[in-house]
Structures are given as C-alpha cells and as structure tokens.
A and B are shown apart, each in its own frame.
Chain A
Amino acid sequence: MKFGVVVFPGSNCDYDTFHALQNVMGQETVFLWHKDHDLRGVDCVVLPGGFSYGDYLRSGAIARFSPIMREVKKFADSGGLVLGICNGFQILLEAGLLPGAMLRNKNLKFLCQHVHIRIENNRTAFSSAGHRGQVLRIPIAHFDGNYYAPPDLLSELEKNKQVVFRYCDEKGKLSEEANVNGSAHSIAGLINRQGNVLGMMPHPERASEKILGSEDGKIIFSSMIDYLEKKRGTGKKKATRAARPAVTPLPPLIGTF
C-alpha cells in the first residue's frame, strides 16, 4: 500500500511517521508537500504531528487552507483513508473533516508523556487489529488536546460509536486523573460517521518499535494496512506479519516554505 505523509511548514513528526510506515511497517511511503495539488496516487493520507504554521491563530487553523488540504478533503469525501495525528487531528477538526474543536489542556500545561488509551470501538479501519477494551500505551505531546463538543454532538458521537480511543489508566479504567488534558468524555481518538477519517492526539509513530518503549502504535497502522488490502482485494492476510524490510534512508524534503 502507498502512504502519503503531508508536510506543512512546522510539521515535526513527518520523518518519524515516514520511518514508522516505510521501515517498520514495510509500506511504500511518500511525502506530500503542503503546496502540492495532487496526492500522487496514495491509498492513505497521514497528517503528522507538529506545529503547522506555528499554531498561529489556532492549532491547525491555517493549515486547513493550504492547497494540499483541498485534495485531502476531496480524497476523504470520496472515501479515502485519512489519519490525523496530534496536530493532524487539530487540522482535521479545523477543516471540518471531523466534528468538534480543541481547547487548551485543562491544567494549561504542554503535556509530553506516555498515556494509556482504551480501544472503544475495534470495528474501524484504524483499530481492527486490536480488541475492544484493549489498553494501549502511546505518548502524547500537545498543548491543545482538550477535546470539546457541545452536549448534543457528544451524545451523537457516542450513539454512533465514533469514539475510538479514550484516555484511561493502565488497567483501562476511566478517571478524571487519567484524562490528562480534560477532554470531553475522555476522548483521545475520534472517527467520522463514514468511518474513513480518524483523528487521535496520541502518537502511534512514537510507539512503533521496541526501542521506543512500546509497539502498541503498530495496531493502528496494521489495522489500516489490513483495511486497505481487503479493500483492494489482495487477499494477503496480515501484512504486518511480513518480514521487516531493511531500513532505507529517508528522502530529503524538496521545496521551500
């Protein structure tokens, strides 16, 4: 499968995400420049973490107007798989591809730590490799991750099972303490109604190799690969079980901000 990692000015998890997809998951991966007008035939678009456009105005608010986002929106509207990680999640919210908004963390601190999240819905293209109730250990690093939605929208999200991940403790219990940033309903990851766009604050690419302290993030990537392979009908079962390829050097970024 071919993955595209979008690079905005200020993205800083683009190379990590590229590495996780190409070298750890063994998928063809390309960078997509924010000024580009085409998605180079990718099967899936990933909006990585970082501080696109310096987080000016609001996190993700400027990035949504970049040329590549017009293509990403078209791609998502036609059913293409889109994953937004951290700042990528904020961009998806600002672009209206996911409902709701982000507020400052409840304690007004930039949080950079490992957290536990619980899989609430494993019948999605992003979580099928895990089971419902499974606890994942994945790091977060953000200032604006306090998810907000008005009460009627929250009940709609719950009813449609659009909450895919919730912050919890290591045993999978929800609590105010475990909900580190104060998100409504402890929401850490959210999917759209159609099931092809997911945003999550935790960074799966930072939990994709043993040396990083956790491999739980691979569950998200392997779910997506499984989904894409089934969609294409290649019939190959678990792509993630394939032998790990040799590490290939990352391509340099070409272009000027």
Chain B
Amino acid sequence: MKVRILVSLKESVLDPQGQTVRNALHTLGYHQVKDVRQGKVFEIDLEGLDRAEVEKVIPEIADRVLANPIIEKFSWEILEA
C-alpha cells in the first residue's frame, strides 16, 4: 500500500522559507499569492498490512519520526491500495 504523508510547520510557527518563496513570487508579479507555507512530502510503500493496520501505523510513524510535534503537523492519504 502506498501512502503519502505531508509534514508542515504549525500555523503558530513562523515559516521564513515560505515567506521567502512568497516574496519571490511577488517579485515575479504573482501578487495574488497571499501566503506560502513550505513542507515536506514522504511517500511510503508498505507491505503486509491491511487498511486498519495502516491507519494505526502511519500516524505513529509521522508522530514519532517524520514530524516534530512541537513545531510541525502532518496529514496523510492512501495513494494505492
């Protein structure tokens, strides 16, 4: 099963990288861009687990390793069953 996990900074945490990207987009004339938040994407291929097990293990992996819960949040989706 293929899973995609998105990790990004919490709204309460300043994202200077996202701000820099936003400023660059403004310089290019994309003034419609109000805000940019930068994050990380992980694509994980799992085997031997059913859907219920995946739903249990993915948040665990994200919380323990992929994201630092003090500054980051995560979301995830199943790409291929």
Task: Say yes or no: A100-B70 contact (C-beta < 8 A), given A108-B17, A150-B12.
Answer: yes
Q: What interface size band does chain A fall in?
A: 10 to 19
Q: Is the CB of B70 within 8 A of A101?
A: yes
- What does the 1/0 interface line of B9-50 toward A look like (CB < 8 Å)? 100111011001000000000000000000000000000000
Decide yes or no whether B75 CB sits under 8 A from chain A.
no
A237 within 8 Å of B (CB atoms): no
Chain A residues near B13: list those with CB within 8 A: 103, 148
A residues less than 8 Å from B16 (CB atoms): 103-104, 106-108
The interface residues of chain B lying within 8 Å CB-to-CB of A216 are none
A108 to B16, CA, bound (A): 7
Q: Is B58 engaged at the interface, CB distance under 8 Å to the other chain?
A: no
Chain B residues, Cβ within 8 Å of A149: 70
Q: Tell me the bound Cα distance from A23 to B77 in angstroms.
A: 55
Q: Least Cβ distance of A188 to chain B in Å? A: 19
Could you say which residues of chain A place their CB within 8 Å of the CB of B12?
150
The answer, among B20, B66, B70, B71, for a CB contact under 8 Å with A108, is: B20
Q: Is the CB of B71 within 8 A of A101?
A: yes
Q: Which B residues are within 8 Å of any A CB, using their own CB?
A: 9, 12-14, 16-17, 20, 65-66, 68, 70-71
Question: What are 15 A-B contacts defined by CB distance under 8 Å?
Answer: A57-B65, A57-B66, A61-B65, A100-B70, A101-B68, A101-B71, A103-B9, A103-B13, A104-B16, A106-B16, A107-B16, A108-B16, A148-B13, A148-B70, A148-B71
